[in-house]
Amino acid sequence: MARRIVAGERSVEAPLLEVEDLSTHFRTPRGRVRAVDGVSFTLERGRTLGIVGESGSGKTVLSRSIMGLLPRTNVERTGTIRYEGTDISEYSQAEMREVWGPEMAMIFQDPMTSLNPVMKIGKQITESLRFHLDMPKGEANDLAVSLLRSVGIPEPAKRVKEYPHQLSGGMRQRVVIAIALACGPKLLFADEPTTALDVTVQAQILNLLDAQQRERFMAMVLVTHDLGVVAGRAHDIAVMYAGKIVEKASAKTLFASMRMPYTEALLESIPKLEYASHTRLASIPGRPPDLANPPKGCNFAPRCRYAQERCLEEEPELQAGADTGHVFACHYPVGTEAGAEALARNLARGFTPAQDEAEVSITQPAGSGA
Amino acid sequence: MAGSGRAHLRDDRDDIVLRVEDLVVEFPAGRGRKVHAVSGVSFDVAAGETLGIVGESGCGKSTTGKAIMRLVPIAGGTVTFQDTEISSLSGRKLRELRQDLQMIFQDPVSSINPRRPIGDVVAEPLEIWGKSDGAEAVVDKVLTDVGLDPEIARPKRRHEFSGGQCQRICIARALVLDPDVIICDEPVSALDVSVQAQILNLLEDMKERYGLTLLFIAHDLAVVKNVSDRVAVMYLGKICEIASPDDLYHRPSHPYTAALLSAIPLPDPTVVPDTVALPGDLPSPLDPPSGCRFRTRCPRAGDRCTTEEPTVREIGPDHFVACHFPLVGEPAPPAGATPVEVGSGR
């Protein structure tokens, strides 16, 4: 098997993954949909980046763009993706095939549909081992059994001969993880790996991913809509809204001193166990903008309780916060004087300047009294 | 867990709207075998109350809801709705009853007919019951109540709405006949957190405005805790624990409840995630374990749990548990941390 990229001019000193100004636009009858719009980030070996946002914020399209898993027609992808220093953004499907498996792998959201229903589980795991690593059949089978054991499947020797429908949802997701880990990838994309699962199984799967990642010193991109899932598990967190990264920081910094009103609103909308029952939840009014026709100015302004006239005119650039690596895009950030003034002004007049576009009910942020 | 018994039924109260006693639902699985979906579940719901039912997939919580609606056949036990025994009703009487007993389903998008305009979808229950006079005004009112603009929403079809808006439409359709009880089967599990909060708030508002009694079924204890007055925890067709939500959170007595609590991810990076999650999967309901059905995954299981099924008993004021070795008297595990004794001996 060809191993062109492995032999390429990749360097161990370069970061594992560098994404620069990545945009993915879909051409649709309604116009150009900017699903991912100018996203940049760097991921070092062995680190976990959590990507958080609502449905339609572009987080899945972002990970698919990096993996090269976009539809072939009516898509425009621009920007640079460097993997170990090599630009892979212009790679063809055939070249990407060498990357998938030993370099990057992906776990999809729905374990019910991401397995082939008419192929035995063992075969689905050994497929990539045989293709990428030229492994003899017997050796690949043995490795498949030990992979299944390492992802916590009981009686793995029996399971390799079974079909997906014979397993529960949690077990199927473990098989999907075993397939992704088979060739020992350096970078794993997990796209909402637990959304289709129960809380107890979710905890099992997240623990499993954690353990495998540490064992293999693998980098991971964990995509989810639940800030609770990434809080204790990601080193860095990027919050996406309308195709853009609107805030990025280390997990500790993000939760301790979040600046973007959207991050604050996302966190507040999670029902907390320690709340007394019948506590009214702070929801985000409205819904994400139409990406074919995004609003002028800040994309979040129509739903934001801090919004001022300026937010409707001028789009905020990403600016650096006090802590290293903390960036956010907001004119009136949470926890600053400007933000507090903006909120006080909106509370005093009872509406925000964006109210013609969407009804924004202004509520006090939790914890600020009143 | 997994106990039968009726100790938690409140016989002394006269405002019980819905009472389920020893409900059994079984499905034939071929070769004489049966899926034991619900095995002897009892509970009651008082007027204006929200009863939350929580448990993993396959624990029988949705089947319980459907059995009350008589959407699945009942194999045993009784369901009493407003002094009417409904488990033996059929035909016209059953259909008439459903005016007062409505249901909201998990997937809001697939529970709306894609080819009909929303105005017709919401008005259909009124047409069926011959209440077409003034139907338009009623439809407009419920659509406004659930936060949609009737002028804009009525002519549109479901593909023009987001998931959260579709759930609002489903709620409007359930409200249009002014029912007494609504069974909500995982109404928010297909939605994003931000939309989830909108729908939960909406349900609370509608409960107040329409004087509803709710049966709220979900797998997320944090969500159930937020909306319920009383919570029943189910496992493999049986009730484990039933208590007020705050009691359940501060003093979980059943090992399964404690495990469910510890599995909830917390939005706080300083809390180290629980590394001793509940092991394994739900056993097959075709052949449930003897004695206590939770014993195969329970960290506290003893010999007694294999032979003797625990029955529901009171261990505190309005706090009932079906367990031989409950975690009584022990402090609540800090959320997100390992529950008491879970993992010992493993």
Q: Which residue of chain A comes nearest to B259, CA vs CA?
A: A200
Q: What is the pLDDT of residues B268-319, one digit of tens each?
A: 877 776 655 677 777 888 888 988 999 998 888 888 899 889 999 888 888 9
Are A80 and A87 within 8 A, CB to CB?
yes
| pLDDT of res. A348 | 86
Same domain, yes or no, for A170 and A311? no
Q: Say whether A160 sits in a helix, a strand or coil.
A: coil
Residues A51 and A92 in one domain: yes
Across the beta sheet with B101-104, what order do the strands follow?
Answer: B101-104, B181-185, B213-218, B50-54, B230-235, B238-243, B319-321, B313-316
What ipTM does the predicted assembly reach?
Answer: 0.79
B182 has which bridge partners?
B102, B214
Q: What single string gives the DSSP state of each residue in B208-275?
A: HHHT-EEEEEES-HHHHHHH-SEEEEEETTEEEEEE-HHHHHHS--SHHHHHHHHTSPPS-TTSPPPS
Query: Worst-scoring range by mean pLDDT, A50-59, A132-141, B263-272, B298-307?
Result: B263-272
Main-chain dihedrals φ then ψ at residue A99, nearest 5 degrees? -85, -40
Residue A282 lies in a domain: yes
| Count of beta carbons in the 10 Å neighbourhood of residue A262 | 30
Is the confidence at residue A354, as pLDDT, over 80?
Answer: no
Of residues A47, A83, A40, the one with CA closest to residue A62: A40
Angle in degrees, CA B63, B283, A114, rounded to 5: 80
Which of B227, B264, B281 has its CB closest to that of A170?
B281
Same domain, yes or no: A314 and A197: no
Is there a domain that residue A369 lies in? no
Q: Evaluate if residue A313 carries a pLDDT over 50.
A: yes
Structural domain contains residue A97: yes
**pLDDT: which is higher, B338 or B153:** B153
Residue A55 near chain B (CB below 8 Å): yes
- What's the whole-model pTM score? 0.84
Q: Are residues A21 and A152 in the same domain?
A: yes
Residue A87 lies in a domain: yes
Same domain for A233 and A262? no
Question: What is the spatial distance between Cα A322 and Cα A333, in angstroms, rounded to a whole number?
Answer: 12
Domain count of the fold of chain A = 2
Looking at the structure, tell me whether residues A30 and A173 fall in a common domain. Answer: yes
Domain edge (last residue) among A182, A212, A240: A240
Report pLDDT for A108.
Answer: 87
Q: Is residue A363 part of a domain?
A: no
- Enumerate residues 6+ apart whose C-beta is below 8 A from B335: A273, A274, B249, B261, B262, B264, B266, B271
Instruction: Show the domains of chain B with their CATH numbers.
Output: 1-100+180-346 (3.40.50.300), 110-178 (no CATH)
A362 in any annotated domain: no
Q: Give me the percent of chain B exceeding a pLDDT of 70.
A: 92
Inform me whether the C-beta atom of residue A201 falls under 8 Å from chain B C-beta atoms. yes
Comparing CA positions, the residue from B331, B211, B314, B310 lying closest to residue B261 is B331
Q: Which pair of structure tokens corresponds to residue B319? A: 């706090």
A160 and A214 belong to one structural domain = yes
Distance from CA of B146 to the nearest CA of A (A): 13
Residue among A269, A278, A285 whose CB faces B193 most closely: A269
CATH number of the structural domain spanning residue A100: 3.40.50.300
- Please give the helix or strand (H or E) that residue B67 lies within, else none: helix B61-68
Which of the four pLDDT bands, split at 50, 70 and 90, describes residue A281? confident
Residues A210 and A336 both lie in one domain: no
| Cβ atoms of A173 and A153 closer than 8 Å | no
User: Are residue A212 and residue A291 in the same domain, yes or no?
Assistant: no
* Percent of chain B whose pLDDT exceeds 90: 47
Indicate whether A47 and A173 sit together in one domain: yes
Q: Which of residues 284-313 of A touch B (CB under 8 A)?
A: 284-285, 287
| pLDDT of the residue at A35 | 92
Is residue A219 domain-resident? yes
Judgement on whether residues A64 and A177 belong to the same structural domain of the protein: yes
- B13 — pLDDT class (breaks 50, 70, 90): confident
Question: Are A147 and A265 contained in the same domain?
Answer: no
Residue A1 lies in a domain: no
What count of other Cβ atoms lies within 10 Å of the Cβ of residue B330?
A: 14
**Structural domain of residue A170, as residue ranges?**
17-240
Residues in A touching B267 (Cβ below 8 Å): 227-228, 231, 255, 267, 270, 272
What is the model's pLDDT at position B134?
A: 86
